[in-house]
């Protein structure tokens, strides 16, 4: 579930070089009070649900005000009986440049338990985490949650069909980079109505879950909110689909063309 949340969060990026910072719009496309809910479906069965929130906070890091981002993911239905997941993530990001200062996760999956924390020092290009200190390639590295919200606020006005984009992120005990291809525009049907979208395809590695020819597709609303609405990937047996259930407290109206 951790990797899937990451993939849906970094799908609207723009980059001019690995050593340069990614450009973003003048104001964040989200605001305090926003609540997004998703369901993860395997075939016709809802396997898990996720809730993402932007919370009010008076906390400061390095004397600067922050957004508090909160994510909860849990299994549901039959999946919850056989393998219960209750994961919680928090990220505190700068209100101006949207870079993370602090990240923590509380993982409860079956009998497995883990709590990890990470403090980001962007100017020093390092992350001090539970499993050690890690050097970063740039002064713009993200965690699992902050990547989602930063990506939504990026300036994608110059992207063309076929363009590839990249993002540096810290997860677990390593710094990695995700590459995504922009595929153009589509109108898709969602629970909220038919919505204009931008379509992307992140790179994935074949292995125990994905086939050699598996591709992950993601659709994000083509409006001021840049809300991820749907993701779909084929696995060794069947496919997994993420769909939005509800979107409350949005900053702008969704690009709904038909309800």
Q: Report pLDDT digits (tens) over 149-181.
A: 887 887 777 778 888 777 788 887 888 877 778
Q: Are 117 and 129 in contact (CB under 8 A)?
A: yes
pTM for the model stands at 0.85
What is the rounded distance in angstroms from the CA atom of residue 241 to the CA atom of residue 120?
32
DSSP β-bridge partners for residue 30:
none
Q: Is residue 118 pLDDT above 90, yes or no?
A: yes
What is the rounded distance in angstroms from the CA atom of residue 130 to the CA atom of residue 149?
23
Sign (positive or negative) of CA dihedral 252, 63, 103, 98: positive
Q: How many CB atoms lie within 10 A of CB 208?
A: 6
Query: How far is CA 100 from each of CA 21, 30, 61, 105, 141, rounded to the nearest angstrom?
Result: 14, 16, 10, 14, 8
Q: What is the pLDDT of residues 3-31, one digit of tens each?
A: 444 444 444 333 333 334 555 556 789 99
120: Cα separation from own chain's centroid: 18
Q: Is residue 211 pLDDT above 80, yes or no?
A: no
Q: What is the pLDDT of residues 27-84, one digit of tens each?
A: 789 999 999 999 998 888 889 999 999 999 999 999 999 999 999 999 998 888 889 9
pLDDT at 8: 47
Q: Is residue 241 pLDDT above 60, yes or no?
A: yes
Q: How many CB atoms lie within 10 A of CB 215?
A: 14
pLDDT at 201: 84
């Amino acid at each position: 579930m951790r990797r899937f949340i990451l993939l849906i969060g970094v799908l609207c990026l723009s980059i001019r070089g690995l050593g340069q910072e990614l450009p973003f719009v003048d104001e964040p496309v989200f605001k305090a009070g926003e609540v997004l809910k998703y369901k993860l479906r395997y075939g016709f069965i809802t396997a898990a649900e996720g809730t993402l929130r932007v919370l009010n906070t008076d906390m400061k890091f390095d004397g600067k005000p922050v957004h508090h981002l909160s994510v909860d993911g849990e299994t549901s239905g039959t999946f919850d009986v056989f393998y219960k997941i209750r994961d919680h993530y928090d990220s505190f990001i700068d209100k101006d440049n949207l870079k993370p200062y602090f990240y923590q996760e509380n993982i409860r999956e079956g009998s497995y338990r883990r709590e990890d924390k990470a403090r980001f020092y962007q100017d020093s290009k390092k992350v001090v985490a539970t499993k050690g200190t890690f050097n970063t390639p740039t002064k713009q590295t993200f965690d699992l949650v902050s990547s989602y919200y930063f990506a939504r606020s990026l300036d994608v006005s110059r992207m063309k069909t076929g363009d590839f984009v990249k993002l540096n992120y810290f997860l677990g005990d390593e710094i990695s980079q995700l590459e995504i291809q922009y595929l153009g525009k589509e109108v898709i049907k969602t629970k909220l109505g038919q919505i204009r979208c931008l379509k992307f395809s992140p790179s994935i590695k074949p292995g125990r879950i994905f086939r050699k020819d598996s591709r992950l597709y993601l659709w994000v609303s083509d409006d001021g909110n840049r809300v991820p609405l749907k993701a779909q990937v084929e696995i060794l047996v069947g496919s997994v689909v993420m769909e939005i259930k509800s979107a409350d407290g949005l900053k702008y109206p969704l690009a709904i063309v038909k309800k």
